[in-house]
């Protein structure tokens, strides 16, 4: 990854057992997900994958899904922190390319943790529907 991701990972590591702060972070990610023009980027699949990362972290901090190590959760959080940071490798304010590095980091983390994510998705599919 890059030094900005490494900084995000250091910040994420400090969030261990700070579930209120993680909850605020997840809420901010969901807000940015809602505000991002995914059609412009032709990246609807990435929106869904990012939402999966949010659900996975949420399930962990609420104690519903605890079979993943903290290191994995910290990596997920780092990707989400990177996504939120407007001043990373390529600032988000640059039209046309600003979110490109964010998408690359999100996809890289998703792919590197794909086996953990697949296990989570399988677990999630067996859970009763939540309202």
CA 98 centroid distance within chain: 17
* pLDDT band at 96; cut points 50, 70, 90: low
With a cut of 70, say whether residue 56 has pLDDT above it: yes
Cα separation, 11 vs 113, whole angstroms: 19
> Using the 8-state DSSP alphabet, how is residue 127 labeled?
S
Give the contacts of 66 (CB within 8 A, at least 6 positions apart).
60
With a cut of 60, say whether residue 95 has pLDDT above it: no
What are the C-alpha distances in Å from 50 to residues 19, 33, 55, 102? 19, 8, 9, 11
With a cut of 80, say whether residue 66 has pLDDT above it: yes
Percent of the residues in the chain that have a pLDDT greater than 90, as a whole number:
60
Mean pLDDT (the chain) is 87
pTM of the complete model = 0.86
> Using the 8-state DSSP alphabet, how is residue 75 labeled?
H
């Amino acid at each position: 990854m890059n030094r900005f991701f490494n900084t995000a990972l250091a910040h994420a590591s400090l969030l261990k057992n700070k579930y209120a702060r993680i909850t605020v972070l997840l809420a901010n990610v969901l807000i940015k997900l809602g505000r991002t023009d995914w059609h412009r980027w032709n990246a609807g699949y990435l929106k869904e994958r990012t939402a999966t990362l949010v659900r996975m972290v949420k399930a962990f901090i609420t104690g519903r899904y605890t079979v993943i190590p903290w290191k994995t959760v910290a990596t997920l959080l780092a990707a989400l922190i990177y996504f939120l940071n407007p001043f990373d490798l390529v600032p988000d304010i640059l039209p046309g390319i600003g979110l490109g590095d964010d998408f690359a980091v999100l996809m890289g983390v998703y792919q590197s943790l794909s086996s953990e994510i697949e296990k989570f998705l399988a677990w999630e599919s067996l859970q009763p529907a939540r309202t």
